[in-house]
Chain A
Amino acid sequence: MGYLPRKSLQVLGSIFAVTTFNFFLFHIIPGDPLRLIARTQKLDAEQVAALRIEYGLDGSLFSQYLTYIGNLLHGDLGYSFALHEQVSTALMRALGHTALLLATSTVIVVLFGIFLGVFAGSRQGSKADSRTIIGALVFWSMPTFWVGMLLVFTFGVWWGVLPISGITTPNAVYETYFSYLMDIARHLVLPTLTLALVDIAFFVLITRTSLVEVMSEDFMLTARGKGLPRRTLVWRHGVRNALLPVMTASALYISGLVGGAIQVEVVYSWPGMGLLMYNSVLARDYAVLEAAFLVSSVVVILANFATDVLYRRLDPRVVVAQ
C-alpha cells in the first residue's frame, strides 16, 4: 500500500480511537448523564424522556455508543442546555476565532523561533548562544496564563495602550470594513504575544540543537571548502537540513497548541474554543466539553498528518511511493 492511503487509514483509526475513548470517558460517570444535566437545568419529565430517546439513553451502553457514532456522522454533537443551542453551532462559531489566534501565533512562533534558533546554533558556545538558551528556558518555564496576566497588567492596566478583552470593542460602530479589521487586529496583539512568548522557546531550542548537529556534518565542511560566505553556508546548507528534524518534533508543539489557546482565551476573554471549554467547565456543560475535546483531538491529529505529508515532500531521502 502506498504511503498516503496507509497514512490516511492510520489517521482514520486514530480519529475512531479518540471518538471511542471520548464516549466512554464521558459515560463512565456514575449515574445518568441526563440527571447531571437536569441538576443544573430545569427540565420537565417530558423533555427528559424525549432526550432519553434521542440520545439512546434508554438502551445499553453499547447501543448508546452506536447512537452516538450515528449522530456524529450526521454532524450532531448534541444540544447544550447551558447555551440553549446546538453544540455544533457554538463550536463552529468558536473554532474560527481560535483558528485566527493560533494561526497568527504559529506564524510568529515558527519564524522567530527558527531565526533565534539559527542565531544561537550558528554561534555555538558563544555568550549570545548561552543567553538565548537561558532566555528560552525561562520563558518555557512560565505558565502561559500567567504571562497573559502580566501582559494584561502591563499593557492594558498600567500603560492602557492595548485592549485586553474580547475580539472587538463592545458596541463599536465601524465606519469601514478596514477599521473593523483593525479593531480585531488590535485585540489580537496581546493574546498572540502571550502565546508566542512561551511557545517560541520550543522552536528556538529544537532548531538550535538540530543546527548544531548539522554544522558538524561532513557536507558542511565541503560547503565551507567551496568558499561560501558564512550566511550562505549557514542558511543554504545548515538550516535546510536542520529544519527537517524540527518539523518532526513539531508534533509536540501542535498537541500543546490547544492547551495554550485555552489559557490565553480565558485570560483575554477571546471567544474561541478555549473560552467555550472554560465556560463549560464552570457550567458543568458536558455536552460541549465532550464535543470540544473531540474536535480539538481531531484537529491535532489532522495537523500532525499534514506536517507528516509536508515533511515527506521536503526530504528527498524519503521515497514517496506513488
Chain B
Amino acid sequence: MTTNSNDFELREAPETQLSILGKIWQDRMGRIGLLMTVSVFTISIIGPMIWPFDPAAVGADASSILQPPNSQNWLGTDELGRDVFSQFLQGSRVSLLVGVTATIIATVIGAGIGISSGYFMGRLDTVLMAITDFFLVVPSLPLMIAMGSIFGQNLTVIILIIGVLSWPRNARIIRSQTLSLRERKFVPRAKSLGATDLRIIRKHMIPHVLPLVVANTILVVAGAILAEATLAFIGLGDPDRISWGSMLHFAFASGAIGRGAWWYFMPPGLGILAIVLAFTLLGHSFDRINNPRLRDAA
C-alpha cells in the first residue's frame, strides 16, 4: 500500500498489442468487430485479384445495362453495363485506404497539438485549445464540401481534408491525459535529472498517452470512412477511383433506385455499414476493456 504509485506508473509498460487483442477477443462486441474488420480487409486485398472482371469494362450493348444478378455478374451490372461485384471489391480498397490514412494524419495532428498543449500549458495551451474548439464546433461536412470543391477531387486531397478535419477530439483527449500525466512526480524528477522537454515527451508522454487514445482513434477510422463515402456521394470523390461512396453516387444519379436495381445500391451501402460497424464495435469494446477511465469522456 505504501509503494509510490508514481514510481509504479513510471515503470508500468504500456500494454502489448497482443494482450489487448486477447482482451478484445474475450468481449463479445469486440470479437464480432475484430472478425468483421479482418474479413473486410481480406476481401479488399484478395477480392480484386481473383475476381475476373474489370470493374471499368462497360457492357457491349443495351442488353447488358442494369442487369439483375446472374451466374456471370453475381451482383448484376450498373447503368453502363459494368460488373457491380468487381466494383464492390475494388471500392472497398478506397474506403479502407482513406479510413486508415486519414486517421493516421488525424492522430499525428491530434497527438502533436494535444501533447504540446497539455505539456507546455500556459498561453500555447490557450491558443491551441481555442483552435481545437473552433474545429470541434464548425460543422465538418459543409467544411469538407467547401474544401473539396476548392482543392479539387483526387484521393490525396480527400485524405488530407478528412485527416485534417478529424483531429480535434483526439487532441482534447490527449491533452487531458497529458495534463494528468504531467501532475505525476516523474516529470519534475526527470527534469531535475537534466532531461530535455523533447526527451520527456518522447520517453514518457507519448508511450503513456497513445494507448489511451486507441479507442477514439478506432472511432476516427469509422468516421473517416463515412466521411469519404459522403463526399463521394455528394459528387466530390476522386473520379478516377471507384469507391463504395462513388458507386452510390452513380446509382443515385442514374436513377437505379427508381428502376428497382437493388443489386446496385445495396452492396456498397452494406459494405460501408459493415466496416463502419466493425470499427465502431472495436472502439466501444476497447473503451470498455482497456480504458475505463475514458469510458464517458466526450
**A contacting B, Cβ–Cβ less than 8 Å:** yes
User: Could you say which of A17, A141, A245, A280 has the most chain B C-beta atoms within 10 Å of its C-beta?
Assistant: A141
Question: What's the minimum C-beta distance from B271 to chain A, rounded to whole angstroms?
Answer: 10
Question: What's the minimum C-beta distance from A141 to chain B, rounded to whole angstroms?
Answer: 4
Asked if A59 lies at the interface with its beta carbon under 8 angstroms from chain B, I say no
Asked if B170 lies at the interface with its beta carbon under 8 angstroms from chain A, I say no
Task: State whether A258 and B150 are in contact (beta carbons under 8 Å apart), knowing that A157-B260, A158-B260 are contacts in the complex.
Answer: no
Complex Cα spacing A248 to B147, Å: 29
Interface size class of A (residues with CB under 8 A): 35 or more
Asked if A193 lies at the interface with its beta carbon under 8 angstroms from chain B, I say no
Q: Of A18, A210, A248, A278, which contacts B138 at CB under 8 A?
A: A18
Question: What's the minimum C-beta distance from B58 to chain A, rounded to whole angstroms?
Answer: 23
Closest to A263 in B: B230
Task: State whether A146 and B145 are in contact (beta carbons under 8 Å apart), knowing that A248-B298, A267-B252 are contacts in the complex.
Answer: no
Closest to A290 in B: B146
Name A's interface SS: helix
- Binary CB contact string for chain B from 210 to 242 against chain A (1 if under 8 A, 0 otherwise): 000000000000100010011001111000000
Contact (Cβ within 8 A) B230 A281:
no
Residues of B within 8 A of A (CB): 29, 134, 136-143, 145-150, 222, 226, 229-230, 233-236, 245, 248, 251-252, 257-258, 260, 262, 265, 269, 272-273, 276-277, 280-281, 284, 295-296, 298
Contact (Cβ within 8 A) A143 B226:
yes
> Which residues of chain B are near A103, meaning CB under 8 Å?
none
Known contacts A137-B281, A262-B141, then 19 further A-B pairs from the complex at CB < 8 Å, ordered by chain A residue: A18-B138, A21-B138, A28-B150, A143-B269, A144-B230, A146-B265, A149-B265, A157-B257, A157-B258, A157-B260, A251-B137, A256-B139, A259-B140, A262-B145, A267-B252, A277-B142, A281-B149, A281-B235, A300-B138
Residues of A within 8 A of B (CB): 14, 17-18, 21, 25-26, 28-29, 134, 137-138, 140-146, 149-150, 152-153, 157-158, 209-210, 213, 245, 248-249, 251-252, 255-259, 262-263, 266-267, 277-278, 280-282, 284, 286, 289-290, 292-293, 296-297, 300-301, 304
Task: State whether A300 and B269 are in contact (beta carbons under 8 Å apart), knowing that A259-B230, A293-B143 are contacts in the complex.
Answer: no
User: Could you say which of B138, B143, B273, B284 has the most chain A C-beta atoms within 10 Å of its C-beta?
Assistant: B138
Supply 6 A–B pairs (Cβ within 8 Å), ascending by A: A18-B138, A143-B276, A213-B296, A252-B298, A266-B234, A286-B149
